[in-house]
Amino acid sequence: MTALRGDRGAGDPDDPDLPPGIAYDPDLAVHEPARATAGATVPGRRRSPLLLFGLGIAALAGLVYILFGLIADENRTPADVVNALRGRRGAWQEALDLSRLLPSDDRKRRDPRLVPDILALFEDGRGDDPRVRRYLALALGEARDPRAVKALVDAAGRDTDPETRIFAAWGLGAIGDARGASGLLPLLEAEDAGLRKVAVYALGALPADPGLADPMRRLLHDPVEDVAWNAALALARRGDPAGAFLLARMTDRVYLDAVHRDDGAAGPRALSEYQKEEAIIGALQGLARVGDASHLDRLRGLRDTDPSLRVRQAAFETIAALERDPR
């Protein structure tokens, strides 16, 4: 899915981009020797070195505890997280960790019971903290296991939480099973633009099916730019050039400067520079996929003058691909 600081003085500890300055420390400065005064001296108010030593030992022990805890977390397997999830209502953080672990999990060596166990947790999570089912839907997509298709189709179509429906639709695209189309096609007509956006993009990841082309093409004219863009990108993934006109428009920074996204309570916001870069790079890759060489002059302009080095590199690669294999 596509989703997307002030001036301070040198040495400001709140500015991560500036190194800390060198502060004057009177205790470390060089002074002329002071003459001893007669009579008893007043004890200083500095803390005892012994007390500081004790505090240092305690801090070191805490650091070691945290370090070994992080090492233990790094060694966790998806099966460990599933075991931790059992019996823990609202354990959304564990579900999120599971979705992060699965992409690097070796599917060939995976316990065959893992996905059925995640499916059982997914079904048992109804009525629980909705974040648990959201991240379990994400985990099922990351597992890339066709056994999860039926549950995700059901969740995409009927779950009461809109975010869970979006995550389930994404999971169907990640799995890439043709049966997922039955859960995704109805979402192209959804009132929620987020559902339309993820559904059309997920359909682009499914096996080629002529029956999917027309419903996807209709979204090229969706009033929400993100939905139309995802339709063009999804069609390009299938080698369909119907959205090439929109991909070309997405490479135009003047057009992108005028695009605003609805950011919930904050209202419409202009795209960030990173979001513009991502849109342009995705469009360039789409044009290369469909072999559309009718906008080479614009692409050369991006290659030679765009302020982003990432965009210039992507334009260079797209031009090279189109010149090798123009259609």
Could you report the per-residue pLDDT of 223-267, keeping only the tens digit for each? 999 999 999 999 999 999 999 999 999 999 999 999 998 876 677
Strand, helix or coil for residue 252: coil
Same domain, 243 and 325: yes
At 91, phi and psi to the nearest 5?
-85, 60
Q: Is residue 117 in a domain?
A: yes
Q: Is residue 34 in a domain?
A: no
Q: Is residue 171 in a domain?
A: yes
Task: Single out the residue in 153, 175, 197 at which a domain terminates.
Answer: 175
Q: What is the CATH number of the domain that holds 158?
A: 1.25.10.10
Task: Single out the residue in 175, 202, 231 at which a domain terminates.
Answer: 175
Counting other chains too, the contacts that 323-327 makes at CB distance below 8 Å and 24 or more residues apart are: 323/293, 325/291, 326/291, 326/293, 327/290, 327/291, 327/292, 327/293
pTM of the model: 0.74
Q: Is residue 3 in a domain?
A: no
Task: Single out the residue in 148, 175, 202 at which a domain terminates.
Answer: 175
Please give the chain's pLDDT, 327 residues, in tens. 444 344 444 444 444 444 444 343 444 333 444 444 444 444 444 444 444 444 454 555 555 444 444 444 567 899 999 999 887 766 899 999 999 999 998 888 888 999 999 999 999 888 788 999 999 999 999 999 999 999 999 999 999 999 999 999 999 999 999 999 999 999 999 999 999 999 999 999 999 899 999 999 999 999 999 999 999 999 999 999 999 999 999 999 999 999 998 876 677 899 999 999 999 999 999 999 999 999 999 999 999 999 999 999 999 999 999 998 766
Q: Under 8 Å CB-to-CB from 321, ≥6 apart: which residues?
A: 288
Q: How many residues does the chain have?
A: 327
How many domains are contained in the chain?
Answer: 2
Q: Is residue 306 in a domain?
A: yes
Q: Is residue 13 in a domain?
A: no
In this prediction, residue 285 carries a pLDDT of: 97
Closest CA to 317 of 297, 303, 298: 303
Q: What's the CA gap between 140 and 156, in Å, rounded? A: 13
- For 48-74, the pLDDT digits (tens) are 444 444 445 455 555 544 444 444 456
Q: Under 8 Å CB-to-CB from 53, ≥6 apart: which residues?
A: none
Q: Is residue 228 in a domain?
A: no
Structural domain including 253 reads 239-327
Q: What's the CA gap between 285 and 247, in Å, rounded? A: 9
Strand, helix or coil for residue 151: helix
Closest CA to 236 of 293, 289, 299, 174: 289
- The answer to whether the beta carbons of residues 277 and 250 sit under 8 Å apart is no
- The answer to whether the beta carbons of residues 241 and 248 sit under 8 Å apart is no
Question: What is the distance in angstroms between the CA of the first residue and the CA of the last residue of the chain?
Answer: 28
